[in-house]
Structure 1
């Protein structure tokens, strides 16, 4: 968004690295991507921030402008790579891409750094 900061990027990268989403030996979600030494794919998708409050066409006016968003994206990836101590797979910022994934499990989360307190 227009109001995202380096503090938000740091918070989000730490949260992603440390969030316990993966099952332990008892099947409980107690392991993070750090614990599992798993891989991470980061793909920019500004459309997630679309507003449908007014009219029938999504509005993206609250999304950060391209150059600012790209810098935030690159900073986020760099911080995540530092925390994970390995490269992070990425999409191409601002590009139309076909991303294929297999969601394994019942978990999909949206983390809003403006609601962290």
Structure 2
């Protein structure tokens, strides 16, 4: 499981000009899922996301988590995080889980994050042609991979 995490002052997702999810201060999380990802990956990554101290405290230091600032999370499924570009110029997405495998894990992650935050996580539309609007705060952008936990 791969995630691109962006600290935002606001973010929204629209499909066909209809907002599917939006937050003010919080995290925009782009989530890529592989075939061998499991609930254990969700638990590890979910805990990291809600406890990641990347929000400023009163001294301007990154010491607060999304929970500490009562922020929101906008979770977007993004299979392109597993693009392979080694051969040629057209990316291959063979490592990304097929929708029938990925969608239940995406939903499970959303439910787990909602439980941890104590409020609903905002969502994109799985498999939809989404338009993401955001203001990256900082900018702060972090990439995590559950297959490389020792470095995260």
Large movers: runs of 4+ above 6 Å: none
- Write the distance in 1 (CA, Å) between the matches of 2:142 and 2:101: 24
**Partner of residue 39, structure 2:** 6
Structure 2 counterpart of 1:67: 100
- What are the equivalent positions in structure 2 for 1:24-103 lying under 5 Å apart? 24-103=57-136
After superposition, what is the alpha-carbon deviation per residue over 1:5-56, rounded to whole angstroms, capped at 9, x for unaligned? Answer: 1100111111100000100011110000011110110011111211111111
TM-score by length of 2: 0.75
Which of the two has greater helix per residue?
A: 1
Q: Does 1:108 align with 2:141?
A: yes
**Deviates most, 100-109 or 72-81:** 100-109
Secondary structure in 1 matching 2:89: coil
Q: Distance in 2 between matches of 1:99 and 1:78?
A: 21
Q: Which structure 2 segments of 5+ residues have no match?
A: 1-33
Distance 1:3 1:53 in 2: 22
In the TM superposition, what whole-angstrom CA distance separates every residue of 1:57-95 from its partner, at most 9, and x where no partner exists?
001000011111101100000000000000011000000
Compute the TM-score of the two structures, normalised by the length of structure 1.
Answer: 0.97
Q: How many residues align?
A: 117
